């Protein structure tokens, strides 16, 4: 009996400790009331058709989902760490640790229908300290099949569209009428924040690809929201109007209870759907009598002006930020389009002011960038911290859909593969007063040093320095190097 007591005591102590430790876990896990959880609970309360019991069930589901999500995140963390070691040795996920490059898997699918989809990349969601320059920007990419129509919607950000490929129509709504414009490949169209709009692929077969940069309106400094507000449309997916109570809808639209809801209910084609040829002709833009059009500036084609640089190895087209007719004035933004001939490369250069967001639209290639290596000192330490700046090599393979970012001041190169031209469109933000300064090529910053400085910097005669750095080609060069694939492990360059 005494022994039973001791066993009971031991078991009791065990449970006490287990309780203590799990309370600890609970206390840590519940550190913050997750805003998502708050919203989910709030949403449950809004459901009119639920009685109190249903609301309780709904809220419990919120809690369960929340708990599951947290556990999933923890598991993913552990898996990720295991994967990182394993795959690095198998060099399959090379870019996993590269915060400057984004692939398909980094994009979020906002819309996905049979006739088209929209992918989004919000720079604010990227946690790395290194990307602070980019945090108020976002990219969305629309892919629309033949004759696909994107239902009217608006964004709360400024949107700058670039027609990558295909032939489209964009309709923009003013308070009392709609203006429509044809979009050709290379067209840039600025849409002011909040403007209701729709898009159509006016080709029957060829896909329409449009890339858009989103930035905060009126010089605000805040992250962009990449969710569109769809006005019309139905209940699945929802129209923004369904967020309002039945009474508000009745009163706002002078319609009996439920009439607007049934009206909206009947549209069930989704947000992107194929339309008939007859409807397409109804959407053709009117010829504008006045060259200045209506409220909105016409699309501006990036290939209208002469390229900034062009030779047999590549060409670079630029628009803005001071190009008045482009509509980009006041946005502190420049768009560039680089077409690097196969087997060629851009020079090693950097932007003095602009931060570059680049989207590869065709071909394959390589990207290399120099980044100052992060110091290893802790800011908590009160001793003098020391670091010797070295430069980290950032590199990645490029393929259509790859997005990479280059902060101001950072030198980089892009190289086209042997087989295809490499085409990249770039949104360069903070572009005012920007200059592109190169280390190699006709006007390079080393050759521009005065004679004495050259000699001192390299510890060689100025002539020897010029021998290395002087060259005739400007900005684009042939990339002709011996194939060394047998010597290389871990990464094949070509």
CB of 79 to a second copy, least distance (A): 10
Q: Which of 57, 308, 374, 492 binds a second copy (CB under 8 A)?
A: 374
* 182 near a second copy, judged by CB under 8 A: no
Token digits of residue 175:
């308070």
Which of residues 185 and 275 has its CB atom nearest to a second copy in the complex? 275
Q: Would you count residue 463 as binding a second copy (CB under 8 A)?
A: no
**Distance, CA of 176 to CA of 357 (rounded, Å):** 36
Three-state SS at 478: strand
What are the angstrom distances between the C-alpha of 134 and each of 73, 130, 220, 429, 447?
A: 25, 9, 14, 9, 32
Does the bond joining 95 to the residue before it have cis omega, within 30 degrees of 0?
no
Stretch that binds a second copy, among 138-146, 203-211, 357-365, 467-475 (CB under 8 A): 467-475
CB of 27 to a second copy, least distance (A): 6
> Of residues 198, 300, 309, 475, which one binds a second copy by CB under 8 A?
198
List phi, psi (to 5°) of 129. -60, -30
Interface of this chain with a second copy, residues 128 to 147, rule: CB under 8 A: 128-130, 132-133, 135
Q: What is the total residue count of the chain?
A: 494
Q: How far is the CB of 206 from a second copy (least distance, A)?
A: 20
Q: Which of 306, 380, 485, 486 binds a second copy (CB under 8 A)?
A: 380
CB of 406 closer than 8 Å to CB of 351: yes
Query: Rounded CA gap, 298 and 292, in Å?
Result: 8
Q: Which residues have C-beta within 8 Å of that of residue 110, sequence separation ≥ 6? A: 117, 118, 119, 120, 140, 226, 227, 228
Q: Which of residues 80-109 bind a second copy (CB under 8 A)?
A: 80-81, 84-85, 88-89, 91, 94, 96-99, 104-109
Considering the complex, state which of residue 136 and residue 315 has its C-beta at the smaller distance from a second copy: 136
Interaction of residue 257 with a second copy, rule CB under 8 A: yes
Residue 127 contacts a second copy per CB under 8 A:
yes
- Which of the residues 299 through 358 are near a second copy (CB under 8 A)? 332, 345, 347-348, 350-355
Provide, rounded to whole angstroms, the least separation between the CB of residue 48 and a second copy: 7
Contacting residue, 139, 141, 272, 369, with a second copy by CB under 8 A: 369
Strand segments, DSSP code E, in 31-186 are 101-102, 108-113, 116-122, 138-144, 148-154, 158-165, 168-173, 178-183
End-to-end CA separation in angstroms for the chain? 79
Q: Which two tokens stand for residue 323?
A: 């190009």
Both structure tokens of 44: 């449950």
Phi-psi region of 181 (alpha: psi -120 to 50; beta: other; left: phi over 0): beta
Minimum gap (Å) between residue 445 Cβ and a second copy: 5
**Between 304 and 368, CB nearer to a second copy:** 368
Whole-angstrom Cα distance, residue 209 to residue 144? 7
From candidates 301, 310, 311, 395, binder to a second copy by CB under 8 A? 395
Of residues 397 through 436, those in contact with a second copy by CB under 8 A are 407-411, 413, 415, 430-435
Size of the site for a second copy (CB under 8 A): 229
Q: How far is the CB of 385 from a second copy (least distance, A)?
A: 5
Q: Does residue 185 interact with a second copy by CB under 8 A?
A: no
Of the pair 298, 447, the CB lying nearest a second copy is at 447
Binding to a second copy (CB under 8 A) within 1-60 occurs at 2-3, 6-7, 9-11, 13-14, 16-18, 20-21, 24-25, 27-28, 30-31, 33, 35-36, 38-39, 41-43, 45-46, 48, 51-52, 55-56, 59
How many C-beta atoms lie closer than 10 Å to residue 27's C-beta?
9
Question: In terms of DSSP bridges, do strands 101-102 and 422-429 run parallel, antiparallel, or are they unpaired?
Answer: unpaired
- 105 versus 205: smaller Cβ distance to a second copy: 105
CA–CA gap between residue 475 and residue 480 (Å, rounded): 15
92 vs 103: CA distance, rounded Å: 14
x/- site string to a second copy, residues 229 to 248, per CB under 8 A? xxxxxx--xxxxxxxxx-xx
């Amino acid at each position: 009996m005494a022994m039973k007591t001791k066993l009971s005591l031991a078991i009791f102590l065990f449970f006490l400790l287990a309780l203590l430790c799990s309370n600890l876990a609970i206390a840590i896990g519940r550190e913050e009331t997750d805003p998502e959880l708050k919203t989910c609970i709030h949403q449950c309360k809004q459901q009119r058709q639920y009685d109190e019991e249903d609301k309780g069930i709904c809220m419990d589901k919120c809690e369960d989902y929340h708990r599951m999500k947290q556990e999933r995140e923890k598991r993913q963390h552990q898996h990720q760490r295991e994967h990182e070691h394993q795959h690095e040795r198998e060099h399959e996920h090379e870019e996993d640790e590269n915060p400057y490059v984004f692939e398909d898997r980094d994009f979020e699918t906002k819309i996905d229908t049979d006739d088209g989809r929209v992918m989004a990349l919000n720079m604010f969601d990227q946690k790395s300290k290194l990307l602070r320059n980019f945090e108020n920007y976002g990219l969305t990419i629309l892919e629309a099949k033949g004759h696909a129509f994107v239902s009217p919607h608006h964004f709360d950000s400024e949107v700058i569209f670039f027609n990558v490929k295909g032939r489209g129509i964009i309709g923009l709504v003013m308070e009392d009428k709609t203006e429509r414009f044809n979009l050709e490949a290379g067209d840039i169209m600025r849409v002011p924040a909040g403007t209701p709009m729709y898009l159509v692929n006016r080709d029957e077969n060829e896909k329409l690809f449009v890339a858009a940069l989103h930035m905060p309106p009126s010089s605000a400094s805040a992250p962009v929201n990449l969710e569109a507000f769809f006005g019309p449309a139905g209940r699945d997916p929802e129209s923004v109007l369904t967020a309002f109570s039945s009474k508000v809808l009745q009163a706002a639209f002078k319609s009996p209870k439920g009439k607007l809801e049934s009206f909206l209910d009947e549209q069930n084609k989704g947000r992107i759907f194929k339309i008939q040829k007859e409807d397409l002709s109804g959407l053709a833009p009117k010829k504008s009598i006045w060259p200045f059009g209506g409220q909105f500036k016409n699309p501006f084609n990036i290939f209208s002006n002469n390229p900034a640089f062009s030779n047999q190895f590549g060409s670079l087209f630029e628009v803005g930020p001071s190009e008045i007719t482009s509509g980009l004035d006041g946005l502190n933004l420049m768009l560039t389009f680089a077409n690097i001939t196969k087997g060629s490369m851009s020079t090693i250069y950097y932007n003095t002011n602009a931060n570059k967001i680049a989207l590869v639209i065709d071909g394959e290639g390589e990207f290399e960038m120099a980044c100052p290596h992060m110091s290893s000192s802790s800011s908590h330490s009160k001793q003098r911290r020391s670091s010797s700046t070295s430069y980290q090599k950032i590199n990645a393979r490029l393929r259509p859909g790859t997005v990479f970012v280059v902060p101001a001041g950072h030198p980089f190169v892009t190289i086209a593969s042997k087989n295809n031209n490499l085409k990249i469109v770039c949104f360069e933000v903070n572009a005012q007063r920007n200059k592109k300064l190169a280390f190699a090529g006709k006007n390079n910053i080393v050759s521009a040093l005065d004679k004495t400085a050259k000699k001192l910097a390299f510890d060689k005669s100025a002539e020897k320095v010029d021998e290395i750095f002087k060259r005739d080609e400007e900005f684009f060069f042939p990339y002709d190097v011996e194939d060394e694939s047998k010597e290389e492990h871990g990464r094949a360059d070509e």
